[in-house]
Amino acid sequence: MKQRLVALDVLRGLTVGGMILVNTPGTWNYVYAPLRHAVWNGLTPADLVFPFFLFMMGMSMYLSLRRTGFRLDRPLLGRIVRRTAAIYLIGTAIYALATFLGALRGAAADPAAASPWSEAFAALARVRLTGVLQRLAFAYGIGAVLATTLRYRTLVWIIGLLLALYGAILLAGDGFVYGPENILSRVDVACFGAERIYWDNGVDPEGLLGLIPSVAHLLLGFCAGRLCLEGGAMEERLNRLFVFGALLLFGGLLLHYGLPLNKKVWSPSFVLATSGFASLLLALLVWAIDVRGRFRRTAAFEVFGVNPLFCYVFSEVAAILLVSLPVGGPSAARRLYGALAALMGDGYAASLLYGLLFTAFCWGVGYALYRRRICIRI
């Protein structure tokens, strides 16, 4: 298929917008249930945004690698390595900024602190080394190399082997125990130290071993890209994508009985079910937008979709600055949420409105780029 599928940008835009909204409530004390992640086993709408992003990254990877004929040569390998390094370093820099400003605010509020600036710089030794962008970086790097060195049928087997291997690790290593005895926690602490991981009851949701199913997740998106863009008429391709999504969703729900759906673990059932949801939603959007032409005004959704990584990075930096500044007194975020809560008289509604306003602000920045046809590739 030669023409660009608008539905791809729309789904990417919906995903990025969802990630920003879920990540930036006015306060974590008042968040509506659908916008909260599952505490442990289970699945909420908020749990879909990150796996959708990873899935769509796999589809985007198919589009970009298709231009190279899926052949790995030295220039392509160099581009893959540079992009992997860039995404990882940006993710680490974001955590460094949050750690530095958080320590500076804490030290400034502590009368016993000798030098707030010294304590802030010392805190950089504890910067988290894992995270959303770090996982995206390595999943992309490994997935791109596999996709350009192996045949498509071999990739399908690799996906199955990765999920089977990870499932065995979880079952053998107390992988569904919500505590520090979980093998995921033990590996992260051994590799990075307890100070450098996100401590969610001992389990880092973006820990090291979780990269195994994340590569499979990205490759499922790559396979969906092939089904959607290659071979036969559009109706035939959509039928294949619908069947693909239905099988993945059914397989994930069935596997849930032995390996529960769990975002923090990134369980195999979670990979299959969320990839199935993403495939079905994509097929529906392609049918409605690109085939039937039912929705022609899609620019509002495309704004995030054409610059997904940039918009996400911008939202993270902006959120950190709002939460951390000014250093003395209540932060800008707290003051804004306080004003909204006083105006509305409902903590939940004020928290949601704060998130919507922040998402709209990020959308405005993205729209300025979209209107000028500026596409920032990371």
Q: Which of 50-64, 95-109, 156-170 has the lowest mean pLDDT?
A: 95-109
pLDDT digits (tens, 9 = 90+) for 145-182: 999 999 999 999 999 999 999 999 999 999 999 999 99
Phi, psi of 100 (to 5 degrees): -65, -50
175 vs 164: CA distance, rounded Å: 14
| For range 306-324, the mean pLDDT | 94
Averaged confidence pLDDT in the chain:
92
Q: How confident is the model at residue 354 (pLDDT cuts 50, 70, 90)?
A: very high
Least confident residue range of 193-202, 219-228, 265-274, 317-326: 193-202
Average pLDDT of the segment spanning 220-226: 95
Q: How confident is the model at residue 3 (pLDDT cuts 50, 70, 90)?
A: low
User: What is the structure's pLDDT at 300?
Assistant: 86
Least confident of 158-167, 221-230, 248-257: 221-230
Instruction: Please compute the mean of the pLDDT values over residues 120-127 and round it to a whole number.
Output: 91
Confidence of residue 375 (pLDDT cuts 50, 70, 90): confident
Of all residues in the chain, the percent with pLDDT exceeding 90 is 76
Query: Is the pLDDT reported for residue 85 higher than 90?
Result: yes
Burial label for 248, CB within 10 Å (0-12, 13-18, 19+), is buried
22-36, 172-186, 238-252, 281-295 — which is least confidently predicted? 281-295
State the pLDDT at residue 356.
97
Whether the pLDDT of residue 252 is over 60: the answer is yes
Q: pLDDT digit string (tens) for 322-351? A: 999 886 678 899 999 999 999 999 999 999
pLDDT at 1 over 70: no
More confident residue, 207 or 233: 207
59-82 confidence digits (pLDDT tens): 999 999 998 889 999 999 999 999
pTM of the shown model: 0.92
CA 78 → CA 74, 83, 85, 375, distances in Å? 6, 9, 11, 21
Q: Greater confidence, 54 or 230?
A: 54
Mean pLDDT of the 100-122 span: 85
Check whether 361 has a pLDDT greater than 90: yes
- Place 2 in a pLDDT band, splitting at 50, 70 and 90: very low
Q: How confident is the model at residue 326, as a pLDDT? A: 84
* pLDDT at residue 376 tops 90: no
Percent of the chain residues past pLDDT 70, beyond the cut = 98
